[in-house]
Amino acid sequence: MRKARQLHLELRGAKVRLRIRFLDRYELLLILVVTFVHGSISGLLRSHGLLEGLVRILPLVMFGTGLLAKPRILQWIANRRKAGIQAREHAEQRVDAASSGGES
Residue 17: per-residue pLDDT: 63
Please check whether residue 62 lies inside any domain of the structure. yes
96 pLDDT higher than 60: yes
Is the pTM here over 0.85, yes or no? Answer: no
Q: How confident is the model at residue 72 (pLDDT cuts 50, 70, 90)?
A: very high
Please check whether residue 46 lies inside any domain of the structure. yes
Please check whether residue 39 lies inside any domain of the structure. yes
Residue 26: per-residue pLDDT: 86
Q: What does the alpha-carbon distance between residue 95 and residue 17 come to, in Å, rounded to a whole number?
A: 56
Q: How many domains does the chain have?
A: 1
Please check whether residue 38 lies inside any domain of the structure. yes
59 burial class (0-12, 13-18, 19+ CB within 10 angstroms)?
middle
Please check whether residue 9 lies inside any domain of the structure. no
Residue 57: per-residue pLDDT: 92
pLDDT digits (tens, 9 = 90+) for 12-64: 655 666 677 777 888 898 899 999 998 888 889 889 998 999 988 988 998 89
Residue 92: per-residue pLDDT: 85
Please check whether residue 87 lies inside any domain of the structure. yes
Residue 94: per-residue pLDDT: 84
Please check whether residue 80 lies inside any domain of the structure. yes
Please check whether residue 86 lies inside any domain of the structure. yes
Q: What does the alpha-carbon distance between residue 27 and residue 23 come to, in Å, rounded to a whole number?
A: 6
> Which range marks the domain in which residue 43 is found?
25-103
